[in-house]
């Protein structure tokens, strides 16, 4: 039972974005002979070697650099050899750095939560719509917008809701206390790519909800609300949580949008790292940046750790 | 029942309308902002773009980086994923971990790590090939270190896209059939498996392309000037032009995606017609 191939591939769930509904030819051979399969094996693992080697060098070395750097104080700039210390890490969770870390976590959690709550009804509305065109258009648009992070997004929002932005001027928003260069402004901007990301992420799961389940619920006189409350949402829960984690990660890692838009008004950990790396080159700042990076990674790992065990559960229902 | 359906339609319409407004208004406002002039409408922000200093250089650099990243990524990932499907299912968790881990490391942290590694080189390895490697990957005309970073960042996206494509295809059976018909290994993969993955491959390539086109963090911290970094420097002095570029970059991404979707569809029609 270790790696049984999924017997019924659901092509609908396989489409991630923008694909037209028609699935490719599905070869349905229920039980392939195990004897022939063995012949295929010899040395196929070799094909994974380049990827693993690349990963070990490209990802492994920086990871080692982060961990060792975070725990050393480079007293001697010439040799780079340093002594073990926890000073970098303790510094990184104090004062302005701690504020920035908390502020990053707060912003990411809030925007991810709003994104999750808003993304699901949009995805559901699109999926159940009668118009196929609308559905394709929204999924394509989501694909584009989910990748529309970074600088262009910041500039677009400055043009829209910034101090001299079109919408700001039209509705005199500044008089009402609106500022794009604030926590709220940043959250509104982040939602512009987080909501489409959620739509993309949750669509396969929503498609995986079988019509029969709904019919069965209706036959038992369940209302729509009851169907969602007791059947659909529990099944979707791991997918929803997965989407939330993805959104949190995207918001947490985002740097360019904030850098171009709010500058230093909203303290964010990613900006602190960039400043420590590229800004004033004080001795030891580099290692402080590595310690801050380690903090960031720890937060991301903790968030992921909540999600991974739950994801297995969803596989039972939505393959 | 009819009442229920109409109520659902109203609800659905309201959701879509609100979402549409939220997503269209910033675009419309950006377009307006970029052409709005004191004495009417002016397209100067767009026409002045081509002659702007650094525009072509940074764009070319970005496109080169994107092309190399896509090629390297697919060459590393596709054989590994097919191999895991066919003969080494035990490596599958390993591959999954490898392709998910970069998600945990934000680009800023990855950049910090890369800088940490690059700092090792000059310090102790002055006269060794290692040092030359470090110089080689950092050359300003084509910074390979950026390719390494981009491949890592795109790994989770591309893995997801390819994995969902592979799920819809029974790779072992396809390969077995091809091998039984006398096809060699490379031929079985290239002319039987890959055409079935066309959509997934395009999807992975597109996601990677979009990521590289918009990537700012690593390039700016490492001090290179691809397109996104150039936009940033323009944004400081010419607000209108930076918005114009934002509008253009959105349009370009859109066109790319539509082209790729069309390519995928065409292929599907062809296979349906010939089979």
Range in A234-248, B31-45, B161-175 with the lowest mean pLDDT: B31-45
CB contact at 8 A, B243 and B33: yes
Range in A27-36, A144-153, B80-89, B172-181 with the lowest mean pLDDT: A27-36
Cα-Cα-Cα-Cα dihedral sign, residues A200, A204, A206, A211: positive
Return the residue of B nearest to A10 by Cα: B168
Give B 70-89 residues with CB within 8 A of chain A.
75-77, 79-80, 82-84, 86-89
Mutate to test the interface with A, among B71, B116, B249 (most CBs of A within 10 A): B116
Binned at pLDDT 50, 70 and 90, residue A312 comes out as low
Write the CB contacts of A211 (distance below 8 Å, at least 6 apart in sequence).
none
Top-confidence range, A146-160, B76-90, B233-247: B76-90
**pLDDT value at A39 more than 70:** no
Q: Which position has the higher pLDDT, A244 or A94? A: A244
Can you give the pLDDT at residue A222? 85
Return the residue of A nearest to B265 by Cα: A20
Write the CB contacts of B106 (distance below 8 Å, at least 6 apart in sequence).
A249, A252, A253, A255, A270, A293, A296, A297, A300
**pLDDT value at B189 more than 50:** yes
- The Cα–Cα gap between A197 and A202 comes to 9
End-to-end CA, chain A? 16
- The Cα–Cα gap between A10 and B167 comes to 8
CB contact at 8 A, B25 and A160: yes
* Smallest Cα distance from B96 to chain A, Å: 11
CB contact at 8 A, A309 and A318: no
Candidate from B91, B175, B265 with C-beta closest to A40: B175
**Overall average pLDDT of the B65-70 stretch:** 94
**Overall average pLDDT of the B5-13 stretch:** 77
**pLDDT value at A40 more than 60:** no
**pLDDT value at A264 more than 70:** yes
Each residue's pLDDT tens digit, A43-56 = 778 888 999 999 99
- The Cα–Cα gap between B103 and B156 comes to 7
Can you give the pLDDT at residue A19? 38
Binned at pLDDT 50, 70 and 90, residue A83 comes out as confident
The verdict on B49 touching A (C-beta cutoff 8 Å) is: no
The verdict on B142 touching A (C-beta cutoff 8 Å) is: no
Closest among B29, B24, B152, B141 to B98, alpha carbons compared: B152
B105 contacts A48? CB cut-off 8 A = no
B250 contacts A48? CB cut-off 8 A = no
- CB-CB neighbours of A73 under 10 Å: 17
B26 contacts A156? CB cut-off 8 A = yes
Candidate from B22, B30, B119 with C-beta closest to A159: B30
Return the residue of A nearest to B28 by Cα: A160
**pLDDT averaged over chain A?**
78
Can you give the pLDDT at residue A175? 83
CB contact at 8 A, B159 and B151: no
- CB-CB neighbours of B183 under 10 Å: 16
pTM score of the predicted model = 0.80
Can you give the pLDDT at residue A113? 96
**Overall average pLDDT of the B47-57 stretch:** 82
B239 contacts A27? CB cut-off 8 A = no
Each residue's pLDDT tens digit, B104-155 = 899 999 999 998 888 775 555 666 666 677 777 777 778 899 999 999 999 9
Each residue's pLDDT tens digit, A97-118 = 899 999 999 999 999 999 999 9
Could you tell me if residue A267 is left (phi over 0), alpha (psi between -120 and 50 degrees) or otherwise beta?
A: beta
A304 contacts B103? CB cut-off 8 A = yes
- The Cα–Cα gap between A181 and B69 comes to 34
B113 contacts A62? CB cut-off 8 A = yes
- The Cα–Cα gap between A205 and A197 comes to 14
Can you give the pLDDT at residue A251? 92
Closest among B78, B215, B233, B56 to B147, alpha carbons compared: B215
Can you give the pLDDT at residue B265? 64
Range B146-180 burial, b when 16+ CB lie within 10 A, else e: bbbbbbbbbbbbbbbbbbbbbbbbbbbbbbbbbbe
């Amino acid at each position: 039972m270790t790696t049984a191939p999924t017997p019924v591939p659901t092509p609908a769930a396989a489409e991630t974005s923008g694909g037209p509904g028609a699935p490719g030819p599905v070869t349905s051979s229920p039980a392939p002979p195990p004897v022939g399969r063995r012949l295929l094996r010899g040395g196929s693992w070799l094909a994974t070697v380049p990827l693993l080697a690349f990963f070990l060098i490209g990802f492994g070395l920086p990871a080692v650099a982060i961990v060792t750097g975070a725990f050393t104080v480079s007293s001697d700039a010439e040799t780079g050899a340093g002594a073990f210390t926890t000073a970098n890490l303790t510094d990184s969770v104090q004062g302005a750095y701690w504020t920035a870390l908390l502020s990053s976590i707060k912003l990411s959690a809030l925007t991810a939560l709003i994104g999750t709550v808003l993304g699901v009804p949009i995805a559901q509305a699109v999926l159940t719509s009668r118009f196929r065109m609308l559905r394709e258009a929204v999924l394509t648009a989501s694909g584009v917008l989910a990748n529309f992070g970074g600088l262009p997004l910041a500039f677009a929002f400055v043009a829209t809701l910034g101090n001299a932005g079109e919408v700001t001027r039209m509705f005199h928003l500044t008089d009402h206390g609106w500022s794009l260069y604030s926590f709220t402004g940043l959250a509104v901007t982040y939602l512009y790519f987080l909501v489409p990301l959620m739509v993309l992420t949750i669509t396969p799961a929503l498609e995986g909800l079988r019509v029969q389940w709904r019919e069965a619920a209706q036959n038992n006189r369940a209302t729509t609300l009851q169907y969602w409350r007791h059947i659909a949402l529990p099944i979707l829960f791991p997918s929803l949580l997965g989407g939330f984690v993805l959104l949190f990660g995207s918001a947490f890692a985002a740097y360019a949008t904030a850098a171009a838009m709010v500058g230093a008004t909203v303290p964010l950990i990613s900006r602190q790292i960039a400043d420590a790396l590229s800004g004033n080159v004080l001795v030891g700042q580099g290692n402080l940046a590595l310690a801050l990076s380690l903090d960031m990674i720890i937060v991301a790992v903790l968030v992921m750790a909540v999600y991974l065990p739950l994801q297995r559960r969803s596989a039972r229902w939505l393959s | 029942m009819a009442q229920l359906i109409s109520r659902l339609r109203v609800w659905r319409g309201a959701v879509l309308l609100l979402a549409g407004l939220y997503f269209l208004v910033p675009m419309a406002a950006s377009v307006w902002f970029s052409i709005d002039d004191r004495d009417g409408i002016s397209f100067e922000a767009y026409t002045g773009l081509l002659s702007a200093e650094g525009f072509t250089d940074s764009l070319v650099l970005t496109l080169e980086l994107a092309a190399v990243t896509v090629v390297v990524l697919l060459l590393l990932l596709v054989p590994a994923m097919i191999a895991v499907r066919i003969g080494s299912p035990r490596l599958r968790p390993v591959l999954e971990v490898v392709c998910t881990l970069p998600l945990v490391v934000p680009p800023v942290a990855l950049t910090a790590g890369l800088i940490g590694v690059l700092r090792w080189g000059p310090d102790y390895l002055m006269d060794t090939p290692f040092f030359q490697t470090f110089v080689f990957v950092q050359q300003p005309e084509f910074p390979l270190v950026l390719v390494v970073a981009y491949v890592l960042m795109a790994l989770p996206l591309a893995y997801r896209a390819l994995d969902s494509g592979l799920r819809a295809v029974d790779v072992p059976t396809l390969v077995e059939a091809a091998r039984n018909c006398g096809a060699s290994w490379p031929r079985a993969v290239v002319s039987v498996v890959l055409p079935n993955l066309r959509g997934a491959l395009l999807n992975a390539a597109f996601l990677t392309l979009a990521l590289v086109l918009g990537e700012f963090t690593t390039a700016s911290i490492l001090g290179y000037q691809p397109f996104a970094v150039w936009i940033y420097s323009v944004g400081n002095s010419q607000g209108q032009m930076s918005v114009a570029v934002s509008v253009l970059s959105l349009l370009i991404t859109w066109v790319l995606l539509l082209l790729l979707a069309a390519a995928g569809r065409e292929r599907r029609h062809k296979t349906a017609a010939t089979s």
